[in-house]
């Protein structure tokens, strides 16, 4: 244009007012999400591992009319508890005889501090030791009734692969220290359980002839006689050993 025409504002150049508005908009613009997170993020400390480790559980499930099997069971728990990482848990099976019959048989009261076990609870065990007195070379009816209640577990094979052992009480030396345990193996077989006898791992104690002593390669045992004889220290020592032995076997199986 001519000299008197003045200057035409450039289309590319923003007016001053527009620049001021743009600067204000920039100041008031929202902070991007990632910047907000970075500015307000807190350091979260990792959770410390639990100091309480769960122990393997050996259930000691027994029936005892006069207390002989119970004395073995309690000593057996001591043996289990001596193995690090393993815990023995005592359970009773239900009595099937009515109170008046038990009174006539002069049976002492049951230790109610030891809970009754249901069949379903056995699934929680890592290993099981079953104790019972003999009845004509077989387990007592009370223990058989308990095994008879495990039909659903058998159907679903819930106990398959669980280690198990036996300990017994008999009235005399020829009363079934071996056959009572031997005839009970059928129960384990149908459940697919693993029978764990002690064999002769107790060492020289298995061969001592200085005193009358219950027990066999099948497991610990006690001679009750007419009911007045109590378990000897030798019989209790074998029970304690069986507890340790079973706990060690279960621990090895879990670690492999």
Q: Tell how far CA 16 is from the center of its chain.
A: 82
- For residue 19, the model assigns a pLDDT of 45
| Residue 228 exposure: Cα atoms within 13 Å on the Cβ side | 1
CA dist., res. 146 & res. 162, Å (int):
17
- For residue 162, the model assigns a pLDDT of 98
- For residue 125, the model assigns a pLDDT of 98
Q: What is the DSSP string of 170-189?
A: ESSTTS-TTHHHHTTHHHHH
Residue 164 phi/psi, 5-degree rounding, is: -150, 155
Does the structure show a pLDDT above 90 at 244?
yes
* Between residues 19 and 203, the one the model is more confident about: 203
Ramachandran sector of residue 137 (left: φ over 0; alpha: ψ -120 to 50; beta: rest): left
pLDDT over 90, % of the chain: 71
Does the structure show a pLDDT above 60 at 12?
no
Does the structure show a pLDDT above 70 at 202?
yes
User: For strand 138-139 and strand 127-135, is the pairing parallel, antiparallel, or unpaired?
Assistant: antiparallel
CA dist., res. 139 & res. 6, Å (int):
122
For 153-177, how does the pLDDT look when each residue is reduced to its tens digit (9 = 90+)?
999 999 999 999 999 999 988 889 9
Residue 110 to residues 44, 102, 116, 158, 195: CA-CA distances in angstroms?
A: 54, 11, 11, 29, 28
- For residue 216, the model assigns a pLDDT of 95
- For residue 32, the model assigns a pLDDT of 52
- For residue 135, the model assigns a pLDDT of 95
For 96-147, how does the pLDDT look when each residue is reduced to its tens digit (9 = 90+)?
999 999 999 999 999 999 999 999 999 999 999 999 999 999 999 999 999 9
- For residue 53, the model assigns a pLDDT of 74
Quote the pTM value. 0.79
| Diameter over CA atoms, the chain | 140
With CA atoms as reference, report the closest residue to 88 among 61, 120, 115, 66.
61
For 18-62, how does the pLDDT look when each residue is reduced to its tens digit (9 = 90+)?
445 444 445 555 555 444 444 445 555 555 544 457 999 999 999
Q: Identify whether the C-beta of residue 238 lies closer than 8 Å to the C-beta of residue 220.
A: yes
Count of C-beta atoms within a 10 Å radius of residue 234? 17
Lowest mean pLDDT among 72-86, 143-157, 203-217: 203-217
With CA atoms as reference, report the closest residue to 63 among 107, 103, 125.
107
CA dist., res. 195 & res. 12, Å (int):
94
Residue 179 to residues 169, 183, 185: CA-CA distances in angstroms?
A: 11, 6, 10
- For residue 14, the model assigns a pLDDT of 52
Q: What is the average pLDDT score of the chain?
A: 86
With CA atoms as reference, report the closest residue to 123 among 191, 48, 32.
191
């Amino acid at each position: 244009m001519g000299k008197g025409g003045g200057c035409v504002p450039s289309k590319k150049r923003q007016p001053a007012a527009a620049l001021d508005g743009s600067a204000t908009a920039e100041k008031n613009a929202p902070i991007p999400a990632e910047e907000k997170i970075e500015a307000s993020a807190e350091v979260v400390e990792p959770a410390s591992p639990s100091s309480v480790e769960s122990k393997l559980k050996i259930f000691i499930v027994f029936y005892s009319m006069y207390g002989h099997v119970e004395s073995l069971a309690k000593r057996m728990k001591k043996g289990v508890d001596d193995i690090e990482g393993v815990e023995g848990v005592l359970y009773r099976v239900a009595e099937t005889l009515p109170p008046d019959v038990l009174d006539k048989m002069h049976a002492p009261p049951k230790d109610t501090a030891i809970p009754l076990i249901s069949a379903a609870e056995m699934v929680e065990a890592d290993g099981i030791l079953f104790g019972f007195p003999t009845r004509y070379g077989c387990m007592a009816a009370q223990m058989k009734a308990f095994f008879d209640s495990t039909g659903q577990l058998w159907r679903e094979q819930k106990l398959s692969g669980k280690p198990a052992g036996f300990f017994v009480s008999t009235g005399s030396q020829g009363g079934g220290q071996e056959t009572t345990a031997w005839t009970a193996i059928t129960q384990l077989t149908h459940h697919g359980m693993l029978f764990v006898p002690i064999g002769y791992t107790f060492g020289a104690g298995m061969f001592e002839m200085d005193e009358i002593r219950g027990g066999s390669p099948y497991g610990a045992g006690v001679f009750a006689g007419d009911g007045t004889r109590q378990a000897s220290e030798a019989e209790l020592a074998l029970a304690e050993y069986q507890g340790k032995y079973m706990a060690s076997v279960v621990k090895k199986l879990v670690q492999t």
